């Protein structure tokens, strides 16, 4: 059984996006608070812990990537999800290295976000005694790659050559990856 997400903090400078996602989470029974800046979010976490932190990558006064370590330090047990409209594999790897559990593309579906966060928290639960433990920080590279490719294709309007440039790979390589990933 997965661990339910009961509380969340949404850190994003886009008021419309932030309040829309907050409303969607609240309709699903999550107590969701918001912050418009990195600093506001850090202050909020000092007083009230949460199960889920959702933080935007690009923000006017400090990017989410550079703040991930601070958020992780304040909330070591929370699922931390970085959102971006500019996803690529190097960003996903950097986000994981800095403390995020996963990187999702905007706009994000509230149900998908909660499912992903609950799964992340479940993986953090200690396994039953005698069960093998997965290596710390194990990631699903195929999932990250698939998400980055989808984001690049959306950004490029479905043009494979343009998406390949955004990803920094050859067009033929992207075509092979799409075939392999079933897309």
163-87-92 Cα angle (round to 5) = 125
Tell me the pLDDT tens digit for each residue of 108-135: 889 989 988 888 877 654 444 444 444 5
| Burial of 7: CB neighbours in 10 Å, binned 0-12, 13-18, 19+ | middle
Identify the bridge partners of residue 5 per DSSP, sorted by sequence position: none
d(CA 34, CA 94) in angstroms, rounded, equals 24
Fold for the domain defined by 139-180: Arc Repressor Mutant, subunit A (1.10.10)
- Per-residue confidence (pLDDT) for residue 36, from 0 to 100: 92
Confidence class of residue 16 from pLDDT cuts 50, 70 and 90?
A: very high
Pairing of strands 102-105, 79-84: parallel
When the pLDDT of each residue in the chain is averaged and rounded to a whole number, the result is: 80
d(CA 88, CA 6) in angstroms, rounded, equals 30
Q: Is 17 left (phi over 0), alpha (psi -120 to 50) or beta?
A: alpha
Evaluate whether 160 touches 175 at the Cβ level (below 8 Å): yes
Average pLDDT for 69-73: 88
Fold for the domain defined by 7-124: Rossmann fold (3.40.50)
In the predicted model, is pLDDT for residue 42 greater than 80? yes
Tell me the pLDDT tens digit for each residue of 149-172: 877 777 777 788 888 888 888 888
Evaluate whether 37 touches 62 at the Cβ level (below 8 Å): yes
Confidence class of residue 34 from pLDDT cuts 50, 70 and 90?
A: very high
| Burial of 24: CB neighbours in 10 Å, binned 0-12, 13-18, 19+ | middle
d(CA 72, CA 56) in angstroms, rounded, equals 15
Length of the chain: 183
The residues spanned by each domain of the chain are 7-124, 139-180
Higher-scoring residue by pLDDT: 4, 29 = 29
Among the listed ranges 14-18, 23-27, 154-158, which one has the minimum average pLDDT value? 154-158
């Amino acid at each position: 059984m997965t661990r339910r997400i009961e509380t969340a903090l949404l850190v994003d400078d886009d008021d419309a996006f932030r309040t829309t996602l907050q409303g969607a989470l609240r309709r699903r029974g999550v107590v969701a608070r918001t912050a418009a800046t990195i600093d506001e979010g850090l202050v909020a976490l000092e007083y009230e812990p949460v199960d889920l932190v959702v933080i935007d990558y690009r923000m006017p006064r400090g990017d989410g990537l550079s703040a991930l370590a601070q958020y992780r330090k304040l909330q070591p047990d929370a699922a931390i999800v970085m959102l971006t409209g500019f996803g690529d594999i190097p960003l996903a790897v950097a986000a994981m290295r800095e403390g995020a559990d996963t990187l999702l593309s905007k706009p994000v579906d509230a149900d998908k976000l909660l499912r992903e966060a609950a799964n992340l928290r479940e993986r953090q639960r200690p396994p039953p005694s005698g069960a093998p433990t997965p290596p710390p920080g194990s990631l699903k590279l195929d999932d990250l790659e698939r998400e980055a490719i989808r984001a690049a294709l959306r950004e490029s309007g479905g043009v494979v050559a343009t998406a390949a440039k955004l990803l920094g790979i050859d067009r033929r390589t992207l075509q092979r990856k799409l075939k392999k990933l079933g897309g």
